[in-house]
Amino acid sequence: MSRGGKITVMVAAVAGIVSTPLVWLLDSPDTGQLVGASVQAATGIAALVWALLQRPPAPAPVPGPVDVAVGTGKSKGTGGGTAHTGVRRPGGAGTGSAKAERTGDAIADGPGSSAGTGIDYT
């Protein structure tokens, strides 16, 4: 339930709890008025408790980006460099989908060099 709806129900519940039963009870009520006032007050209290226990709706998930790498060329990492043909998401960052098709060759040459194709989450 939205915040505005919750406030509306709470205000109506408080008005129902206080209004008519208060008027009836101040004017020497008979048995029917006393029962009616009790039922109305109980209904208002139940509505108030229900409104207080409602949680706000969960926000809709926001779709992440769509990363696509298709038909990439060759890549070469030398002298400690990095070569990657595809999609890189360091640390698995991002919430959307990732797709790699027909990626090119990735070549690592020399100490400390690295190469990869496809999707890299490291």
pLDDT tens for 39-65 read 888 888 888 888 888 887 777 777 777
SS3 sequence of the chain: CCHHHHHHHHHHHHHHHHHHHHHHHCCCCCHHHHHHHHHHHHHHHHHHHHHHHCCCCCCCCCCCCCEEEECCCCEEEECCCEEEEEEECHHHCCCCCEEEECCCCEEEECCCCEEEEEEECC
State which amino acid sits at residue 21. P
pLDDT of 20 higher than 80: no
Question: Residue 44: how many CB atoms within 10 A of its CB?
Answer: 20
Share of residues in the chain with pLDDT > 70 (%): 94
Q: How confident is the model at residue 21 (pLDDT cuts 50, 70, 90)?
A: low
